[in-house]
Amino acid sequence: MADSEATRRLGAILRALEEQGVRAAPVEEAVELGRSSPEAVFDLAAAVVDRFPDGGTFLDAALGYLPDDRWDGLVGLALDALDRDGENEAADAVIAHAGLQALPSLHGQLDRLFRLRPNAGTNYENWPWRESGDRDVEPQVRRIEDPGLADELRQKAWRILLETRSPGAVARALALANRVHPVVAGFGPEAGVEACLRQAGLTRDGAGIRRLAPDGLFHVVFPGGFFEQPRPPWLARVHPTWTLEPSPEFPPMRFGGRADGECPLCRGRLHRLIDLDPVPSDLGVTGLGRLEIATCLPCLGWELAPLFYHHAENGHAVGVAYHGPTIIPQFPAEALRESEVRLAVTPGRWRWQDWGLSNSRENLTRIGGEPGWIQDAEHPDCPTCGRVMGHLMQLDSDLPTGEGGEWLWGSGGIGFVSWCDRCKVSGHLWQCT
Ligand SMILES: [Zn+2]
Ligand SMILES: [Zn+2]
């Protein structure tokens, strides 16, 4: 598109905001601007931070198209705005989305971020410290050890050390845990430390710390025509995570339909989620060439959770023994629509995704990587060996079923699959709001 066309589109969005306020919510126009002229997203975001500090969904949606090399500038501008006035939701949104899509742009600004506290009180307040290694460890340690600093800030500094996920920083945090007594609703001090570790994808394992998220990360790429249900235009599946190029090294894989195994609770046939054939490397799954991930959609969560399955050498899912009476599910469910999907190696920009900040725009069905919890982290204990299970896969809601319906996890959350590689056991649960 010619630059003049981008200027015209940008001008139209800003005029609508001026005339009707952010309630005009020009989401489709902002996405269209981002798709056709990514460079113009910088100008849009800068203008919104400056003149429409309430921000809005249209800004969040447009930020997904900001060119990688423009984040540094936009982050600086957002922090300047917060320096002038702490109440700028548009600036907060820029920092929140940078905390997912552009972490390096935040790492030179960690002092300012600690002082200004954009998004204070949200679950993403400390995300800027993710992947920052050990560069900001010493300032946090000094804060934790400073008896003159408010408790809340000392706790924040402690949680920041965990959020880095850097082994050195995490070790320092554990050594200093008794200085802060991390407050986690419903947990005593010792359990509170573990709950905070889990939230950062970590767990104590003997004398060490184990990461619960595998390094490998792949998005599921659905075939054309897979989603039939119409969506309002502002929720069209156009986000870059919906249009990733499938990786040629993986063949098409079976998704949805029924598996061979039987649900031990209701005696119905299991529902296949995906048949990983072959299993990609770096997922923490060893010794199996193929892994059929399956569960019982009517029983999972509505009757019991988590549900567990053993996987034999052929990868098939077999329900872990259940000793109660046979259940008649309250909510019978069709299988997910059977199809062949592809896997795409996830680009770095989409390594971190969040259900709330995605706001139904992004493809959140992914294998490996860090889970996007909606509630607190829930890694089940393996029913066979008792060890905490690692993350393996998550599936978003709104997946089509065989009967033309749409599958929702609860009220529209995410289904999570975990894995114990020692025992070859998968665990399933879901979360929603
Ligand atoms: Zn069942
Ligand atoms: Zn186990």
In the predicted structure, residue 268 carries a pLDDT above the cut 90: yes
Residue ranges with CB less than 5 Å from ion ligand 2: 382, 384-385, 420, 422-423
Measured in angstroms, how far is the CA atom of residue 4 from the centroid of ligand 2?
A: 60
Q: What are phi and psi of 340, to 5 degrees?
A: -110, 125
What is the arithmetic mean of pLDDT over 288-316?
Answer: 97
Question: Residue 2's pLDDT is what?
Answer: 55
| Token code pair at residue 382 | 């393996």
What is the arithmetic mean of pLDDT over 218-239?
Answer: 91
Measured in angstroms, how far is the CA atom of residue 349 from the centroid of ligand 2?
A: 33
Measured in angstroms, how far is the CA atom of residue 329 from the centroid of ligand 1?
A: 7
Measured in angstroms, how far is the CA atom of residue 334 from the centroid of ligand 1?
A: 12
Report the sign of the C-alpha dihedral through residues 263, 267, 273, 278, in that order.
Answer: positive
Burial class (CB in 10 A: 0-12, 13-18, 19+), 151: exposed
Q: For residue range 14-53, what is the model confidence (pLDDT) as tens digits? A: 999 999 877 667 899 999 999 999 999 999 999 999 999 9
**Cis geometry, peptide bond prior to residue 306 (ω within 30 degrees of 0):** yes
Percent of the chain with pLDDT over 90: 90
Report the sign of the C-alpha dihedral through residues 76, 82, 88, 92, in that order.
Answer: positive
Q: Where does the pLDDT of residue 230 fall: very low under 50, low under 70, confident under 90, or very high at 90 and above?
A: confident
Measured in angstroms, how far is the CA atom of residue 391 from the centroid of ligand 1?
A: 23
Q: Give the Cβ contact number of residue 379 at 10 Å.
A: 22
Question: Residue 162's pLDDT is what?
Answer: 97
Beta bridge partners of 253: 341
Question: Residue 24's pLDDT is what?
Answer: 66
Measured in angstroms, how far is the CA atom of residue 422 from the centroid of ligand 2?
A: 5
What is the arithmetic mean of pLDDT over 67-79?
Answer: 98
Cβ contact 137:157 at 8 Å: no
What is the arithmetic mean of pLDDT over 123-141?
Answer: 97
- Which ligand has its closest atom nearest to the C-alpha of 259? 1
In the predicted structure, residue 326 carries a pLDDT above the cut 70: yes
- Which ligand has its closest atom nearest to the C-alpha of 330? 1
Q: Give the Cβ contact number of residue 199 at 10 Å.
A: 17
Percent of the chain with pLDDT over 70: 98
Measured in angstroms, how far is the CA atom of residue 418 from the centroid of ligand 2?
A: 11
Question: Residue 241's pLDDT is what?
Answer: 98
- Which ligand has its closest atom nearest to the C-alpha of 390? 2
Q: Where does the pLDDT of residue 140 fall: very low under 50, low under 70, confident under 90, or very high at 90 and above?
A: very high
Which sequence spans correspond to the domains of the chain?
A: 3-129, 137-211, 217-431
Measured in angstroms, how far is the CA atom of residue 421 from the centroid of ligand 2?
A: 7
Alpha-carbon gap, residue 18 to 128, rounded angstroms: 32
Burial class (CB in 10 A: 0-12, 13-18, 19+), 345: middle
Q: Where does the pLDDT of residue 233 fall: very low under 50, low under 70, confident under 90, or very high at 90 and above?
A: confident
Q: Give the Cβ contact number of residue 140 at 10 Å.
A: 24
| Cβ partners under 8 Å of residue 266, min gap 6 | 296, 298, 299, 303, 326, 327, 328, 329
Write out the chain in H/E/C secondary structure: CCHHHHHHHHHHHHHHHHHHCHHHCCHHHHHHHHHHCHHHHHHHHHHHHHHCCCCCHHHHHHHCCCCHHHHHHHHHHHHHHHHHCCCCHHHHHHHHHHHHHCCHHHHCCHHHHHHHCCCCCCCCCCHHHCCCCCCCHHHHHHHHHCCCCCHHHHHHHHHHHHHCCCHHHHHHHHHCHHHHCCCCCCCCHHHHHHHHHHHCCEEEECCEEEECCCCCEEEEECCCCCCCCCCCHHHCCCCHHHCCCCCCCCCCEEECCEEEEECCCCCCEEEEEEEECCCCCCCCCCCCCCEEEEECCCCECCCECCEEEEECCCCCEEECCCCCCCCCCCCCCCCECCEEEEEEECCHHHCCCCHHHHCCCCCCCEEECCCCCCCCCCCCECCCCCCECEEEEEEECCEEECCCCEECCCCCCEEEEEEECCCCEEEEEEECC
What is the arithmetic mean of pLDDT over 123-142?
Answer: 97
Measured in angstroms, how far is the CA atom of residue 331 from the centroid of ligand 1?
A: 10
Measured in angstroms, how far is the CA atom of residue 319 from the centroid of ligand 1?
A: 10
- Which ligand has its closest atom nearest to the C-alpha of 265? 1
| Token code pair at residue 252 | 């098409």
Measured in angstroms, how far is the CA atom of residue 383 from the centroid of ligand 2?
A: 7
Q: For residue range 199-208, what is the model confidence (pLDDT) as tens digits? A: 999 999 988 9
Measured in angstroms, how far is the CA atom of residue 419 from the centroid of ligand 2?
A: 8
Question: Residue 17's pLDDT is what?
Answer: 92
Beta bridge partners of 339: 255
Question: Residue 109's pLDDT is what?
Answer: 98
Alpha-carbon gap, residue 111 to 114, rounded angstroms: 5
Bigger pLDDT: 416 or 182? 416
Question: Residue 21's pLDDT is what?
Answer: 79
Q: For residue range 336-357, what is the model confidence (pLDDT) as tens digits? A: 999 999 999 999 999 999 999 9
What is the arithmetic mean of pLDDT over 242-265?
Answer: 97
Question: Residue 228's pLDDT is what?
Answer: 86
